[in-house]
Structure 1
Amino acid sequence: MTELNYYFQAGDPAQAPLLMLHGTGGYEDELVPLAKKIAHNSPLLGIRGRLVENGRTRYFAHTATGGFDLNSLAQETTWLLQTIDQLAAKHHLAVNRMIVLGYSNGANMAAHAWLTGQAQFKTGLLFHPMQVAPYKTVQPLSDVKIWASHGSFDPIVSAANFQTLTQSLTTAQADLTVFEAEQSHALSPQEITAAQQWLQQSQRL
């Protein structure tokens, strides 16, 4: 485990803050250019995952066989949400107004926090998320708006897994918008534009 590494940039207090959650190997400020493009006046908060696996930062661990370590997932979700609360209080940010800007591993954490009923934030832009745990029941998310993207050539997130995630979110009654394109796991200009347009129309900024 590493020390807390985070990024904060003040913005227009009337605008919703963006919570930046990076992908595997990323850092707390990695999504700053994307955040500024999508909502250039918003306050920005980025938190680095505190695990390092094979030299790459992550929010939760794999098992020895390559699957997701669900104990690590539970522990690190609790840590992340507590850290968000602490940093939000420090920087005078409203957690329930936060817009999650999550990519890959970070997007997975946000989706998991919602589906387990632990998240206070109610809006999310999830780039290439996947479902990382089974959910026998899901918590109601009728006040949550989510935009999620998937690439048909994605070598990490299968179409079946993404469909499972979208079904879980739909079952939970989240207001879900899906963007699908012929692309890989990397971000594309098309999906960034689509995310920006969705957020401007969401009335959550």
Structure 2
Amino acid sequence: MSYFAARTEGREGAPLLFTFHGTGGDETQFHGLGGQLFPGAHVVSPRGDVSEMGHARYFRRTGEGIYNMEDLARRTEAMATFIETETAQTRADRVIGLGYSNGANILASVAFARPDLVDDLILMHPLIPWSPDPVPGLAGRRVLITAGRQDPICPAPLTEALAGFLSAQGAAVEMIWHPGGHEIRQDELTAIQGFLGSGA
């Protein structure tokens, strides 16, 4: 499985950073930001191949917060294969995933299915409205979750439940909250920079 993607080649031996857009975004939404957040990294930004009324997504849903779980499983497998292939081509020793909203959700789903693929996960405003099965392979993985306390799309209790689940699997979880909603704020970007730098 392949995706239309933006790619920037980094320095030899540099980490590989995947960025995943939100609903209605595309491969350009965070591609440039990825290079700014981690200068010198290889950056790969796939475009979601599902259209929801013309808006690109990574998997289908039947309503706000109601996922087509069969489609999610298929597309999670496809994305895992894509990540594995891109990683092999760059031969990167460290793989980082950054996703926002729908992009955070596909990234989290990949981590549940194939925890070996991504070392550091940055989940911006994720929404995981189901209870994942235990994933012992997440032990030792670094995860940063950023969210808004008043986010109408990703309710704070579900964000906290996701953080609790990841911590219970042995992941090293950091959480950054802002008082607003679904928008991305500067303090989130500052936290991401610090997170990326601390894992170097």
How many residue pairs get aligned? The number is 199
> Distance between the aligned counterparts of 2:199 and 2:77, measured in 1?
28
**1:52-84 deviations in Å (ceiling 9; x for gaps):** 111111111112686111001100000111122
TM-score by length of 2: 0.91
Change (3 A) 1:16 1:65: closer
Match of 1:19 in 2: 18
Match of 2:144 in 1: 147
C-alpha contact (below 8 Å) 1:81/1:119 kept by paired residues: no
> Distance between the aligned counterparts of 1:154 and 1:10, measured in 2?
35
**Overall identity of the aligned pairs, in %:** 27
- SS of residue matched to 2:6: strand
C-alpha contact (below 8 Å) 2:116/2:137 kept by paired residues: no
> Distance between the aligned counterparts of 1:66 and 1:10, measured in 2?
35
Please tell me the residue identity of whatever aligns with 2:137: P
Please tell me the residue identity of whatever aligns with 1:172: Q
The list of structure 1 runs, each at least 4 consecutive aligned residues, that deviate by more than 6 angstroms after superposition, is none
Q: Which has the higher strand share?
A: 2
Match of 1:92 in 2: 90
Please tell me the residue identity of whatever aligns with 1:142: A
**1:63-120 deviations in Å (ceiling 9; x for gaps):** 268611100110000011112223333x4243x6211011111111111222234551
Matches within 5 A, 1:116-131: 116-131=113-128
Match of 1:9 in 2: 8
**1:20-78 deviations in Å (ceiling 9; x for gaps):** 11111111122023212211211111111111111111111112686111001100000
Matches within 5 A, 1:1-205: 4-63=3-62, 67-89=66-88, 91-94=89-92, 97-203=94-200
TM-score by length of 1: 0.89
1:140 is displaced (CA, Å) by 3.3
